[in-house]
Amino acid sequence: MDPKRELLRHVLATLAYRGGKTIRGASKDFALFGSSETGKAPIHILSHLGDLMDWTLSLSKGQPVWHNATPLSWNLEVERFFSALQKLDDYLQSEAPLESSIERLFQGPLADALTHVGQLAMLRRMAGEPTRGENYFVAEMAAGRVGLDQADAVREFS
């Protein structure tokens, strides 16, 4: 497999690991937590993450389509995000041609998704539901592991 394509799959695994940590254990009230009148609620950010993964897949196939989904329930948006990650990972793992450059896929929708996972982590802290910090360098992330269930943290801290 192309090393760049494999790296992109590792980026997806990173999104799944970090996103899963940020989403897992959130209270039912967290979905609508608001930091200001102009800020987006976590449910809208999570829905946007699903939109980004769908867009990345459409770009990869050379059929770019953007869709602003209407947010579903928190649990359904969690499922949607991880399902979209899986579909994208499956495509990247296949022999199907990539119709967008890997660099542009990373610099656009995937880097945006990493930013939004960070927003969710910050909002968790602001909502009084912080996740533990972690040394992500030693975390067990692997291409293809893109579901909500992830390896346990290796080295967390307060």
The pair of three-digit structure tokens given for residue 149, joined into one six-digit string: 């269930």
Q: Give the pLDDT of residue 158.
A: 81
**Which range marks the domain in which residue 126 is found?**
3-157
User: What is the three-class DSSP state of 143?
Assistant: coil
28-55: per-residue pLDDT in tens?
Answer: 999 999 867 778 999 999 999 999 999 9
The pair of three-digit structure tokens given for residue 71, joined into one six-digit string: 């947010």
Number of domain units in the chain: 1
Q: At what angle do helices 74-93 and 3-23 cross, to 10 degrees?
A: 170
Q: Give the pLDDT of residue 37.
A: 74
Report yes or no: 122 and 30 within 8 Å, Cβ to Cβ. no
Residue range 104-122: mean pLDDT, rounded: 98
Give the helix ranges, DSSP H, for 24-143. 42-60, 74-93, 102-105, 111-126
> Is the entire prediction scored with pTM above 0.85?
yes
Q: Give the pLDDT of residue 18.
A: 98
User: Which CATH number characterizes residue 134's domain?
Assistant: 1.20.120.450
